């Protein structure tokens, strides 16, 4: 899928780059999962999780090679498991705070106080964990601290990819719609603050739109 020419989204006094592309057809995704399972001996959860990370975070095997990677809110670590079955040993560190996953991830910890030194990782990813779970099941006012911690632990010149930071669901009820609004608002406010403080070199919002429903969501990509 080709992305469109870069455009700009305004928040306060700041202009942030955004790109938009169409959402992949569900049948195509199902076929891709099936091929991954057969080719690399993945189970359904591993193949599905791997594909979601690759598509939603706009990742590639080449982009991951040789990088020290932090997966924030990794759950049982299915992305790392799948990646190592596909590409061999990786340098992915799985972090999760849920006791239900204990023993399946590398480090137990919380996103608002990451147990790592400054500039420890080349790439930090968060897929359907923070800040979306913070906004929908916790306190959205914690989102700025989470973003500060993620910025802190990525190396200068390193990359951060967080999905989603924007959600537009026309079928959501009013309570969930408000939570989605809080997600975007707190994220963009913090992004604006970090921009003013020169904490990163570039930030891009990658929008994926479903042409049938009109729903869309956005992935935040930050180059420190």
Question: What order of strands is seen across the sheet that includes strand 216-223?
Answer: 7-11, 14-22, 202-209, 216-223, 154-168, 121-127, 69-72, 92-96, 107-108
> Domain coordinates of the chain in residue numbers?
7-223
Q: Residue 2, exposed/middle/buried by CB under 10 A (0-12, 13-18, 19+)?
A: exposed
pLDDT band at 3 (very low <50, low <70, confident <90, very high): very low
Instruction: Encode pLDDT of 181-192 as tens digits.
Output: 999 999 999 999
pTM above 0.75, yes or no: yes
Instruction: Encode pLDDT of 38-83 as tens digits.
Output: 999 999 999 999 999 999 999 999 999 999 999 999 999 999 999 9
Given CATH 3.40.50.150, say whether it is the number of domain 7-223: yes
Q: Judge whether 157 and 190 are in contact, CB under 8 Å.
A: no
Q: Please list the residues that pair with 17 across neighbouring strands.
A: 8, 204
Percent above pLDDT 70 for the chain = 91
| Res. 99: pLDDT tops 70 | no
Which of the 8 DSSP states describes residue 11?
A: E
SS3 28: helix
- Where helices occur in 26-173 by DSSP H, the ranges are 26-40, 44-56, 61-64, 78-87, 132-137, 143-153
Q: Judge whether 187 and 146 are in contact, CB under 8 Å.
A: no
In the chain, DSSP assigns E strands to 7-11, 14-22, 69-72, 92-96, 107-108, 121-127, 154-168, 202-209, 216-223
- Report the greatest alpha carbon distance in the chain: 50
Query: Would you state the pLDDT for residue 4?
Result: 47
Distance CA 196, CA 200 (A): 9
């Amino acid at each position: 899928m080709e992305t469109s020419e870069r455009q700009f989204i305004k928040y306060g006094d700041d202009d942030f780059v955004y790109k938009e592309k169409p959402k992949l057809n569900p049948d195509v995704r199902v076929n891709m999962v099936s091929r991954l399972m057969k080719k690399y001996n993945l189970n359904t959860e591993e193949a599905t999780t791997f594909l979601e990370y690759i598509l939603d975070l706009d990742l590639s095997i080449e982009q991951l090679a040789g990088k020290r990677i932090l997966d924030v809110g990794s759950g049982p670590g299915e992305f790392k498991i799948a990646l190592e079955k596909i590409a061999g040993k990786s340098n992915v560190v799985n972090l999760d705070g849920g006791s239900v996953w204990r023993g399946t991830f590398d480090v137990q910890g919380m996103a608002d106080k990451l147990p790592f030194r400054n500039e420890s990782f080349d790439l930090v990813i968060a897929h359907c964990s923070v800040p979306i779970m913070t906004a929908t099941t916790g306190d959205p006012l914690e989102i700025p601290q989470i973003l500060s911690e993620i910025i802190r632990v990525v190396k200068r010149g390193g990359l951060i990819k967080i999905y989603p930071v924007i959600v537009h669901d026309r079928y959501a009820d009013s309570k969930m719609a408000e939570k989605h609004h809080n997600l975007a608002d707190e994220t963009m406010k913090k992004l604006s603050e970090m921009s003013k403080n020169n904490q990163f070199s570039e930030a891009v919002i990658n929008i994926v739109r479903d042409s049938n429903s009109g729903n869309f969501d956005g992935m935040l990509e930050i180059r420190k």
